[in-house]
Amino acid sequence: MSRVNLQGYDMRKRCVTAIMLLLSSQGLFSNAFAQVAAKQQATHPLVAHLTVDPPRLEDCKVVKVVKVEWDVPPGTNIKEVSIFVSGPKDPEKLFTNGGLKGSAETGPWAHAGMKLVLREKDKPRILAQTSIGTAKPCS
């Protein structure tokens, strides 16, 4: 069985992938699923985490200060990152730059549906992304 590098996967995906590979190696699970998991990890590696707090706002019309945290594991050859924000009708714009690990607070302009994207500074590749959700559907 080939080795699969799970570094950079969030814990839930690591566990699911590891279980699929283990069951497959014991003949208890279709090897096709293990191959799909390994291929997905190889073609879409997650090398960073990006979170917002709070992750949801109570109302679509509320604007709020939101804490944004990011973490890029060492050994990725990445030195600095940039975080961009955009809204459903707003173009992407730079929010902040930083090191491999950090946090920043938005102003009182963060809103439900806002998307945040973490990239290596001056590079187009997306390392992680998230968005602010709502407790109720927006109309």
In a domain, residue 139? The reply is: no
- The 10s digit of each residue's pLDDT in 103-121 is 999 999 999 989 999 999 9
What is the average pLDDT across 121-139? 85
CB 138 within 8 A of CB 113: yes
Count the domains in the chain: 2
What is the average pLDDT across 37-62? 72
pLDDT at 92 over 90: yes
96 and 55 assigned to the same domain = yes
d(CA 40, CA 33): 11
pLDDT at 85 over 90: yes
Tell me the CB-side half-sphere exposure of residue 53, using CA atoms within 13 A: 7
Q: Using CB atoms within 10 A of its CB, is residue 74 exposed (0-12), middle (13-18) or buried (19+)?
A: exposed
76 and 121 assigned to the same domain = yes
Q: Map tokens 């804490």 to a residue.
A: 67
CB 59 within 8 A of CB 42: no
pLDDT at 45 over 60: no
57 and 97 assigned to the same domain = yes
- 93: domain CATH number is 2.60.40.1930
pTM of the complete model beyond 0.85: no
pLDDT at 14 over 70: no
Residue-range definition of the domain harbouring residue 89: 49-134
Q: How many CB atoms lie within 10 A of CB 21?
A: 22
23 and 86 assigned to the same domain = no
In a domain, residue 119? The reply is: yes
31 and 81 assigned to the same domain = no
23 and 90 assigned to the same domain = no
Predicted pLDDT at 59: 79
More confident residue, 22 or 132: 132
